[in-house]
Amino acid sequence: MHKYKGSSKLMLLPENTDQLPQILKYCNSRCLAVVPQGGNTGLVGESVPVFDEVIINTQRMNNIISFDEVSGVLVCEAGCILENLISFLDKQGFIMPLDLGAKGSFQIGGNVSTNTGGLRLVRYGSLHGTVLGLEVVLANGNVFEMLGSLRNLVMHSRSNKRAVAEAGGVQVVLDLIGSGDTDTSIQVAMFIKLLFFKNTIQEYASSETVRAITAAFEKDLWATGTVHEEYLKALYALFVNFPRLRASEPATLSIPHLVTSLKTRSEATQESALNALFLLRLVWSADPNQT
């Protein structure tokens, strides 16, 4: 449609998830901006380079990895053309729950990222409801395999319409905060604070998130004797927005570490710890069994 125009001097065509992490790791280390590109059928210009970014096109990542006829689960790469997947499943006696006019050039990675509706939406629902897992390559080149863990989140969450974008994202966040790198953990804690200050993804605010944050600042306490206040602010964000988490076992286990945080010399850390303890105290006050 020639609605958007961009320019780039370099387009890379990785063939698998061994090459893609190397590309992203190199670009990240040199602060080179990248733009992912699929079939170029989007109508909002999301794949158009505007500041001479490096284009990473997924057209060569077009292999069907496996298909299980018993469960009907298809595993494929992001660059698979939708029409090819439809033809493949037709030959197996199965049907793809997605079909649309641009299927001859639309890649499945773009389908998943935009939650494309298409001609079969009413009958089979949105595409995100049929995605059971992802293998994700982050901007720094790290690869996260979530084909197993994401499946449970999708199948058992109260609402799975945003499961790919959010449940997968939350799983990555929990992995990162426990990565062992202090700078990364603190940045992730800041992200959690922002992520859960809105109730739009409340189904993913779980006791496991509380446990991950507690483990991160406990490690900080043991290593340095101090706690970065962002851990405690993230914990407070969870407690203030999701009162049910205050009575969880991980919340109770966080109390000794919150008390220890009061002994640090940082006023910001002490204040954040007090805020979190105050919310937990509300749970004790409301429980008639507590004395």
Whole-number Cα distances in Å, 30 to 33, 115, 131, 205: 9, 32, 34, 35
| Residue bearing the bigger pLDDT, 183 or 281 | 281
Location of structure tokens 């469960």: 71
d(CA 284, CA 250): 15
Return the pLDDT at 13: 94
**Structure pTM?**
0.54
Q: Residue 232 and residue 11: Cα distance in Å, rounded? A: 43
Do 211 and 250 meet the contact criterion of CB atoms below 8 Å apart? Answer: yes
Provide the 3-class DSSP secondary structure of residue 170.
helix
Q: Please state, as a whole number, how many other Cβ atoms lie within 10 Å of the Cβ of residue 189.
A: 25
Question: What pLDDT, on the 0 to 100 scale, is given for residue 285?
Answer: 63
State the pLDDT at residue 156.
40
| Residues 200, 159 contacting (CB under 8 angstroms) | no
Whether residue 136 is predicted with pLDDT greater than 60 in this model: the reply is yes
**pLDDT tens digit string along 265-280?**
788 888 888 988 988 8
Instruction: Find the mean pLDDT for residues 140-145.
Output: 78
Going by DSSP bridges, is the β-strand pair 135-137/73-76 parallel, antiparallel, or unpaired? Answer: unpaired
Which has the higher per-residue pLDDT, 118 or 90? 90
pLDDT per residue as tens digits for the range 236-273: 888 887 888 888 888 888 898 888 888 887 888 888 88
pLDDT at residue 19, as a whole number: 92
Chain centroid to CA 36: how far? 17
Calculate what percentage of the chain has a pLDDT beyond 70. 75
Q: What is the pLDDT of residue 159?
A: 38
Pairwise CA distance, residues 207 & 215, whole Å: 12
- Judge contact between 171 and 149, C-beta under 8 A: yes
Secondary structure string (H, E, C) spanning 120-167: CHHHHCCHHHHCCCCEEECCCCCEEECCCHHHHHHHHCCCCCCHHHHH
Average pLDDT along the chain? 78
Over 50: is that where the pLDDT of 291 sits? no
54 or 163: whose pLDDT is higher? Answer: 54
pLDDT for 164 beyond 70: no
Would you say how long the chain is, in residues?
291
Residue 47 CB neighbours (<10 A): 19
CA distances from 75 to 7, 48, 62, 78, 130 (A): 33, 28, 11, 10, 12
pLDDT at residue 216 tops 70: yes
Q: Look up residue 97 and give its DSSP letter.
A: S
The yes-or-no verdict on residue 188 having pLDDT over 60 is: yes
pLDDT in tens, 3-52: 777 788 999 999 988 899 999 999 989 989 898 888 888 777 778 888 88
Share of the chain above pLDDT 90, in %: 15
Task: Give pLDDT, residue 290.
Answer: 47
Three-class DSSP category at 111: helix
**Cα dihedral 36/37/38/41 (nearest 10):** 130
Give the per-residue pLDDT at 23.
Answer: 93
